[in-house]
Structure formats: structure tokens, C-alpha cells
């Protein structure tokens, strides 16, 4: 499978993928799937496009609803998202599904503690960037060996979230700070983050943030993204 133009420019040598990690911007991530927009594909595409144009730096395509689309349906959606992201130079990550990330020529894959191991992803798809969810100091410590292969860690839930059904206990702003102080890769805070809470999240050390509902439920996406995202 071919590298996207973005990957090609950034990672000329697959064995030195992370030499340029500092040039990648993980500051503002929209996590979204069909379940977050009432299953409406056209709405998903227009929302992602608007968010990308407004300054979102990463889109994570995530289908974790009770009704899962088929692989081919998800691939069709992911390919459109890839095209939108390519035009705005936004990174596209796929949640959990390494095969989908490869097939859609995404820039990266985001995995949780119970998903594919970082080691197995590196082996299978060395060109993919990898984000890993971390909720506790114990998980951070247990993931030390994987750090050189990670583009960022997703840390949360910082605040109570109603969007993720199986969310872990909230860690709060102090939990975020504690993990940030020990982390060696960019920290992307997630969970219940909205326009009002964004500044506090940055003040507690986050390098970036990731949201679902703050953007999918916004009535003015451009304004919301401006307020959420670090300049």
C-alpha cells in the first residue's frame, strides 16, 4: 500500500519515523464516528470538513457504537475522511482497527489498553503513527517499552463524559498533570472537555486535547474550534 503524501514527506525513512515527530501537531483532535452524528454520512463529512478548515489538527475516525458498520462501510467513510484531511493537511487516525487504517491509507491508528499491542502494530504497519490511551500512572509505567513507538498518549477521562459508555473513572486535572509530568511523548487530554475547560486543561500541562461532543454538538464549529485549540 502506498504512503500518503503527508507520510512520505515526513517519514522518508520508515526506520526513522519519529525524527520529525516534533513537526507533527497533536494539539487539537476531533474524535468522531457515525454514531455521534445520528448515522448520517453527509453530516459526518460536512462536520469533519468544517472542523478541519477551522483548525483541528487530527481527526480520529472511531466507530464504537452498538450498531457497527461493516468493514467495507467503514472503509468507504474513512476514504472520504482521508481526502478531506489531505486537503487541509490534517492527520487522520483510525480508532482500534489497524487493517482499516492500512486500507484507508490513514496516517495513524489509536489504540486502547485492550486493543492490539503497540509492538504488533509496528510489526504489521511500521508506517503508521500510533496513539495509545492511558488512564493511570500504572498504565503509563506498564507502557514504557512502547514509548519510542508512540506519537502521543491519550490521557483521560479528565472530566466525566457521557459520550463513551465504558469510560474509566475520571482522573481530574491533577491526574492529568501527574501523568504529564512523567510522560515522554505528547499528552492529549480527553473526556468531557469543552470550550470552558480547555484553558485549564492546557494549564495542567496537556500538549493537546481531544473531543467528541464539544464539536459534534456545537452550533458554531468554527468558533468552538478556535476556543478549544491552542494557537
Q: Which residues does 27 contact at the CB level (< 8 Å), separation at least 6?
A: 57, 207, 208, 209, 229, 230
**35/127 with CB nearer ligand 3NM:** 35
133: annotated binding-site residue?
A: yes
**31/52 with CB nearer ligand 3NM:** 31
Q: Distances in Å between the alpha carbon of 77 and those of 154, 156, 218?
A: 23, 27, 22
For 208, phi then psi, to 5°, come to -165, 175
Nearest distance in Å: CB 214, ligand 3NM: 6
CB count within 10 Å of CB 166 equals 7
**Contact call for residues 135 and 168 (beta carbons, < 8 A):** yes
Does the protein bind ligand 3NM through residue 214 (CB under 6 A)?
yes
Nearest distance in Å: CB 161, ligand 3NM: 3
Does the protein bind ligand 3NM through residue 211 (CB under 6 A)?
yes
46: annotated binding-site residue?
A: no
Q: For ligand 3NM, which stretch binds (CB under 6 A), given 6-14, 140-148, 173-181, 210-218?
A: 210-218
73: annotated binding-site residue?
A: no
Does the protein bind ligand 3NM through residue 33 (CB under 6 A)?
no
**Contact call for residues 132 and 98 (beta carbons, < 8 A):** no
Does the protein bind ligand 3NM through residue 31 (CB under 6 A)?
yes
Among 192, 206, 225, 228, binds ligand 3NM (CB under 6 A): 192
86: annotated binding-site residue?
A: no
**Contact call for residues 206 and 175 (beta carbons, < 8 A):** no
Q: Which residues does 106 contact at the CB level (< 8 Å), separation at least 6?
A: 4, 61, 78, 82, 92, 93, 94, 100, 128
**Contact call for residues 54 and 225 (beta carbons, < 8 A):** yes
Enumerate the known binding-site residues: 60-64, 95-96, 115, 133, 161-164, 192, 212-213
Interacting residue ranges for ligand 3NM, rule: CB under 6 A? 31, 133, 154, 156-157, 161, 163-164, 167, 190-193, 211-214
Amino acid at each position: 500500500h502506498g504512503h500518503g503524501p503527508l507520510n512520505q514527506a515526513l517519514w522518508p525513512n520508515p526506520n526513522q519515523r519519529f525524527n520529525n515527530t516534533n513537526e507533527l501537531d497533536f494539539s487539537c483532535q476531533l474524535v468522531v464516528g457515525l454514531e455521534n452524528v445520528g448515522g448520517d454520512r453527509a453530516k459526518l463529512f460536512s462536520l469533519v470538513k468544517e472542523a478541519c478548515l477551522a483548525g483541528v489538527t487530527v481527526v480520529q475516525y472511531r466507530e464504537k457504537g452498538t450498531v457497527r458498520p461493516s468493514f467495507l462501510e467503514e472503509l468507504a467513510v474513512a476514504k472520504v475522511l482521508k481526502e478531506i484531511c489531505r486537503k487541509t493537511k490534517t492527520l487522520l487516525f483510525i480508532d482500534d482497527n489497524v487493517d482499516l487504517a492500512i486500507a484507508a491509507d490513514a496516517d495513524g491508528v489509536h489504540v486502547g489498553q485492550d486493543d492490539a499491542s503497540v509492538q504488533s502494530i509496528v510489526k504489521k504497519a511500521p508506517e503508521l503513527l500510533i496513539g495509545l490511551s492511558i488512564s493511570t500512572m500504572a498504565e503509563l509505567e506498564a507502557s514504557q517499552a512502547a514509548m519510542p513507538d508512540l506519537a502521543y498518549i491519550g490521557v483521560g477521562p479528565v472530566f466525566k463524559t457521557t459520550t463513551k459508555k465504558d469510560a474509566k473513572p475520571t482522573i481530574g486535572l491533577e491526574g492529568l498533570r501527574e501523568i504529564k509530568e512523567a510522560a515522554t511523548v505528547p499528552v492529549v487530554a480527553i473526556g468531557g472537555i469543552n470550550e470552558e475547560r480547555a484553558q485549564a486543561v492546557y494549564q495542567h500541562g496537556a500538549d493537546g486535547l481531544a473531543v467528541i461532543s464539544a464539536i459534534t454538538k456545537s452550533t458554531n464549529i468554527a468558533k468552538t474550534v478556535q476556543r478549544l485549540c491552542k494557537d
